[in-house]
């Protein structure tokens, strides 16, 4: 489903179940003594990554993790991984065409009580209320969570620093399936320009809400 909201340069591979693939030593080291659920997610995500990189013409190679758990892609590649119950996906693209990718998939279900207050700004709460009144069939609070996860995944490779939920203000276009995110902290300087925000697309389908950001290269 992510391929429906990402541009053509991006190779997407997704699975609705678990797969087995032999991990490289660097990946085994990154996984450590993870519980079985985490191990299944990690292994399936790496299987998706192998196939996605192959679509770019690259051989099988390790995709270890960085200090904050982010996937470390081969030189010349940008990408992102997401997983939730019943869905795992990897999206990659040549760094010559995109500067960063952020993707996230979540179950289309309301956030647990109290979580929305931790992630939503006042203006975001207002559009969530308006959207829920117009279309109660979509979990708009969960979509906001997904979008902010995608924002962080696109931000981190460019900035290399933490970005909190409160550090970006999101506006969603229900009709167009798009969103915009305005950074409330100074963004990184990318190709000589300071990044002020992100544009992306979202989708609610098959029991999931998904979001995606693809930052184009100049």
Per residue in 179-213, pLDDT tens? 999 999 999 999 889 999 999 999 999 999 999 99
Q: What is the mean pLDDT of residues 157-167?
A: 96
- Which tokens belong to 84? 């939730």
pLDDT at 144: 98
Helix (H) or strand (E) holding 189: strand 189-190
Question: Which CATH number belongs to the domain containing residue 13 in this structure?
Answer: 3.90.470.20
pLDDT at 33: 84
- Residue 11 pLDDT > 90, yes or no? yes
> Could you tell me if 165 and 90 lie in one domain?
no
**Could you report the per-residue pLDDT of 55-103, keeping only the tens digit for each?**
999 999 999 999 888 999 999 999 999 999 999 999 999 999 999 999 9
180's torsion region: left (phi>0), alpha (psi -120 to 50) or beta? beta
**Contact between 71 and 65 (Cβ < 8 Å):** yes
Measure the CA–CA gap between 129 and 12, rounded to whole angstroms. Answer: 32
Tell me the CA distances in angstroms from 71 to 27, 63, 90, 136, one per residue in order: 10, 6, 10, 35
* Number of C-beta neighbours around residue 52 at 10 A: 24
Which value, in Å, is the radius of gyration of the alpha carbons in the chain? 17
- Residue 31 pLDDT > 90, yes or no? no
Residue 7 exposed, middle or buried by CB count within 10 Å (0-12, 13-18, 19+): middle
> Could you tell me if 113 and 208 lie in one domain?
yes
> Could you tell me if 91 and 13 lie in one domain?
yes
> Could you tell me if 87 and 140 lie in one domain?
no
> Could you tell me if 28 and 85 lie in one domain?
yes
pLDDT at 61: 94
Band (pLDDT 50/70/90 cuts) for residue 50 is: very high
Domain boundary among 75, 96, 117: 96
Query: Rounded to 5 degrees, what angle do the CA atoms 193, 93, 51 make?
Result: 160
> Could you tell me if 116 and 19 lie in one domain?
no
> Could you tell me if 212 and 111 lie in one domain?
yes
Domain boundary among 38, 66, 96: 96
pLDDT at 30: 87
Q: What is the pTM of this model?
A: 0.95
Domain boundary among 76, 96, 116: 96
Total domains, the chain:
2
- Which tokens belong to 155? 């931000």
> Could you tell me if 83 and 116 lie in one domain?
no
Question: Which CATH number belongs to the domain containing residue 184 in this structure?
Answer: 3.90.470
Q: 151: domain range? A: 104-216
Residue 127 exposed, middle or buried by CB count within 10 Å (0-12, 13-18, 19+): middle
> Could you tell me if 57 and 112 lie in one domain?
no
The pLDDT mean for the chain works out to 95
């Amino acid at each position: 489903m992510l391929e429906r909201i990402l541009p053509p340069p991006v190779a997407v591979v997704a699975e609705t179940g678990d797969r087995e693939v032999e991990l490289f030593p660097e990946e085994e080291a990154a996984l450590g003594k993870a519980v079985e659920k985490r191990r299944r997610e990690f292994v399936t995500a790496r299987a998706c990554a192998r196939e996605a990189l192959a679509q770019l013409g690259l051989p099988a190679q390790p995709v270890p993790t960085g200090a904050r758990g982010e996937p470390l892609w081969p030189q010349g590649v940008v990408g992102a991984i997401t997983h939730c119950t019943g869905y795992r996906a990897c999206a990659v693209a040549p760094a010559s065409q995109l500067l960063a990718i952020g993707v996230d998939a979540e179950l289309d279900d309301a956030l647990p009580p109290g979580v929305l207050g931790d992630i939503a700004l006042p203006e975001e709460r207002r559009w969530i209320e308006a959207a829920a009144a117009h279309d109660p069939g979509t979990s708009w609070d969960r979509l906001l969570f997904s979008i902010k996860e995608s924002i962080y995944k696109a931000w981190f490779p460019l900035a290399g620093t933490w970005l909190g939920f409160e550090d970006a203000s999101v506006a969603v276009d229900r009709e167009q399936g798009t969103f915009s995110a305005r950074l409330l902290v100074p963004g990184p300087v990318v190709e000589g320009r300071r990044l002020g925000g992100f544009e992306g697309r979202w989708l609610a389908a098959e029991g999931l809400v998904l979001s995606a950001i693809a930052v184009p290269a100049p």
